[in-house]
Amino acid sequence: MSTIKTHAIVVRHADYRENDRMVTLFSPNLGRVEAICRGCRRQKSPLLAASELLCAGEFVLFEKGERRTVVSCAVQDSFYPLRADYERLTHGLYLTELCEAAIQPGQEAERLFLLLLRSLAHLTYGDAPAGRVTAVFLCGYASLLGYRPRLGRCVRCGAAVEPEAGRAAHFDLAAGGVLCAPCALHALTEAGAPMRIQAETLRFLRAIMKQGLDLIGEDLPMPDETLVLLRRYVELRTERTIRSARLLT
């Protein structure tokens, strides 16, 4: 038997028995942690806030064998204002579910944890459109999970690819990167044809890779198709259906 203290965010919960709740915590140093919050659904329970989705704070867990119980939580942010904006809330739940799908028990994921917290903060307290925040998050998410999109050279032949105004670029979702014009033409005859995108979309994707979350507050316009492309790219690589994806507008 032991006590564990860790920073974490609630990425999933499910009611259990009459007043309890099972929670899935995302910890930067412990990865995925399953725990039970006993009595948290009682109106005056000190664990009521700690068992809510998106609650971030310092959790104290009691561990006995393979079971963990939430003893207390010093809440640092509940991102509560998201609940008053349906669009921003659905984007926040989408990011959270993607992280919940990626983390593993005992696996450190500090950079992904910070990416999620900072993205949720932008959605909650920032002015940038929700789709822009999600697009930037998805690029960072893909990079941290090992499938960073290749945007400088053709994924088939290695030739340099430069965006030209007025001309479409091509992105191969399965291969994970851009195609030069000859390879794109050849791929059009095959199953799983590449996705046509604007040159401006390719420029924006490259800017994300260079600036990360700092791009959220920049004036560089984001073409509407950017989020569609990144969602298809990331969701193609997840090992399960992301249920909150259908809620996005």
Neighbours of 115 (CB within 10 A): 21
What's the distance, CA 249 to chain centroid? Answer: 16
Question: What pLDDT does 239 receive?
Answer: 81
Q: Each residue of 214-227: b (16+ CB within 10 Å) or e?
A: ebbeeeeebbebbb
Cα gap 26→30, rounded to integer Å: 8
Question: What pLDDT does 66 receive?
Answer: 82
Question: What pLDDT does 190 receive?
Answer: 61
Pairwise pLDDT comparison (65 vs 4), residue with the higher score: 4
At residue 191 the predicted structure's pLDDT band, cuts being 50, 70 and 90, is low
Question: What pLDDT does 168 receive?
Answer: 84
Rg (CA), the chain: 20
What's the distance, CA 10 to chain centroid? Answer: 14
Cα gap 89→76, rounded to integer Å: 19
With 90 as the cut, is the pLDDT of residue 22 above it? Answer: yes
Averaged pLDDT of the chain: 93
Question: What pLDDT does 65 receive?
Answer: 83
What's the distance, CA 7 to chain centroid? Answer: 18
Cα gap 109→97, rounded to integer Å: 15
Who contacts 32 (Cβ-Cβ below 8 Å, separation ≥6)? 24, 25, 26, 100, 103, 104, 105, 107
Question: What pLDDT does 166 receive?
Answer: 66
Q: What is the mean pLDDT of residues 55-77?
A: 94
The three-state secondary structure class of 70 is: strand
If 0-12 CB within 10 Å is exposed, 13-18 middle and 19+ buried, where does residue 192 land?
exposed
Q: Any idea which of 85-99, 151-165, 222-236 has the lowest mean pLDDT?
A: 151-165
Of 3, 187, 10, 6, nearest to 108 by C-alpha is 6
The 8-class DSSP code of residue 147 comes to: -
At residue 165 the predicted structure's pLDDT band, cuts being 50, 70 and 90, is low
- Percent above pLDDT 90 for the chain: 85
Highest averaged pLDDT of the listed ranges 13-17, 142-146, 192-196: 142-146
Cα gap 62→67, rounded to integer Å: 8
If 0-12 CB within 10 Å is exposed, 13-18 middle and 19+ buried, where does residue 106 land?
exposed
Pairwise pLDDT comparison (3 vs 165), residue with the higher score: 3
Q: What is the mean pLDDT of residues 142-152?
A: 96
> Is the full-model pTM beyond 0.95?
no
Cα gap 41→143, rounded to integer Å: 38
